């Protein structure tokens, strides 16, 4: 294992003395990059995709810089596809890696991932950036990888559950204002910005594969996930318990749903978690903190102080497929 740039061996802040000498008492905006550790179960055990770059003669994991205004999720999928020819389906989020590249801090966001087509082999023509793409047993990959931070990514993956499923909790996208909408609030649609974001959201959700969709019956929720359900042919149903209808509920101090409605929503969400199936669930801001609290309670996980979501944001709760425990949690907004 060796160096790329100045401190390629630095992992998660290790090598900070060099960074402090670079920007004493200050901050340098890091280079943003993203990638995925592609894995599968082979005849000899867990296998990992490695790439060899001819200009550096190194073995590394597929990753690359995020383009300007590109969402991190989109960048990770794009880079992996460009460097391996394989389309990744994102699994659990892995810890980011931070190190110096030519004296400037770089931060790489990582996911575990599996190929969208598990049966397809690698058919990748060599080019000036990547000359070889191989499936390698995890034990051999650890020895072959050139850089310490890549080894850390592999170790982080091996330390947790390989097979997980995502439960995505989404607050609906931007809708018209309540005080200017004259019809039933259930029928209040997405506004122009919300409709544009729904197309972006479809691409983000698609990075996690074809998931079933459970949504509030409100128009603004159903419309938020409509492009995703059509593009990925996702099975979809509405859930009354996740629907906030202010004409028929008594406001609570938290801002909109009666205690009875919250309890029904939590029970319905607990049932979704217990089913062990990848799911996108779209609801209202009033319910998000309660449902996220239910998820963390069911998974016996610590609580974050920030359970709420703004419109067009979502939690991704990754659950261990075998043990049922919490594997990872990440939060994203459609608009970066």
Domain containing residue 60: CATH number: 3.90.79.10
Q: What is the CATH number of the domain that holds 225?
A: 3.40.50.1240
Task: Identify whether 38 is part of a domain.
Answer: yes
Looking at the fold, whether 226 and 301 belong to one and the same domain comes out as yes
Given this model, what pLDDT does residue 39 score? 98
Query: Of 159, 180, 207, which marks where a domain is finished?
Result: 159
Contacts of residue 179, Cβ cutoff 8 Å, sequence gap at least 6: none
C-alpha–C-alpha distance, residues 81 and 87, integer Å: 5
Query: Of 109, 130, 159, which marks where a domain is finished?
Result: 159
Looking at the fold, whether 169 and 267 belong to one and the same domain comes out as yes
The pair of structure tokens assigned to 94 is 């892995």
Task: Identify whether 170 is part of a domain.
Answer: yes
Structure-token match 């996690």, residue found = 208
Task: Identify whether 72 is part of a domain.
Answer: yes
1 pLDDT higher than 90: no
Looking at the fold, whether 204 and 139 belong to one and the same domain comes out as no
Given this model, what pLDDT does residue 38 score? 98
C-alpha–C-alpha distance, residues 300 and 316, integer Å: 16
Looking at the fold, whether 186 and 154 belong to one and the same domain comes out as no
189 pLDDT higher than 80: yes
295 pLDDT higher than 90: yes
Domain with 193, as residue range(s), is 164-333
Query: For the chain, what percent of residues have pLDDT higher than 90?
Result: 81
Q: How many domains does the chain have?
A: 2
pLDDT, tens only, 152-170: 999 999 999 999 999 999 9
Task: Identify whether 134 is part of a domain.
Answer: yes
Given this model, what pLDDT does residue 88 score? 98
Looking at the fold, whether 218 and 248 belong to one and the same domain comes out as yes
């Amino acid at each position: 294992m060796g160096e790329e740039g100045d401190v390629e061996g630095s992992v998660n802040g290790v090598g900070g003395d060099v960074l402090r000498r670079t920007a004493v008492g200050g901050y340098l905006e890091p280079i943003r990059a993203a990638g995925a550790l592609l894995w599968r179960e082979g005849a000899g055990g867990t296998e990992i995709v490695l790439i060899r770059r001819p200009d550096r003669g190194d073995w590394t994991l597929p990753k690359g810089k995020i383009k300007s205004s590109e969402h991190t999720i989109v960048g990770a999928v794009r880079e992996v596809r460009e460097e391996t020819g394989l389309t990744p389906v994102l699994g659990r989020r892995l810890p980011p890696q931070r190190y110096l590249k030519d004296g400037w801090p770089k931060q790489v966001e990582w996911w575990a991932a599996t190929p969208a087509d598990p049966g397809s082999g690698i058919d990748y023509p060599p080019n000036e950036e990547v000359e070889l793409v191989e499936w390698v047993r995890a034990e051999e990959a650890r020895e072959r990888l050139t850089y310490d931070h890549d080894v850390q990514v592999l170790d982080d993956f091996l330390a947790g559950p390989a097979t997980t499923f995502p439960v995505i909790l989404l607050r609906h996208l931007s809708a018209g204002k309540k005080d200017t909408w004259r019809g039933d609030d259930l029928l209040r649609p997405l506004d122009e910005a919300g409709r544009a974001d729904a197309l972006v959201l479809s691409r983000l959700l698609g990075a996690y594969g074809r998931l079933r969709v459970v949504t509030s019956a409100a128009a603004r929720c159903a419309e938020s996930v409509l492009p995703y359900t059509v593009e990925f042919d996702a099975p979809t149903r509405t859930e009354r318990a996740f629907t906030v209808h202010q004409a028929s509920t008594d406001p609570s101090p938290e801002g909109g749903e009666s205690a009875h409605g919250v309890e029904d929503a939590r029970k319905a969400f607990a049932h979704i978690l217990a089913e062990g199936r990848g799911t996108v669930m779209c609801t209202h801001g009033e319910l998000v903190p309660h449902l996220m609290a239910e998820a963390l309670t069911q998974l016996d996980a610590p609580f974050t102080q920030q359970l709420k979501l703004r419109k067009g944001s979502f939690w991704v709760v990754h659950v261990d497929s075998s043990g049922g425990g919490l594997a990872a949690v990440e939060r994203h907004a459609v608009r970066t």
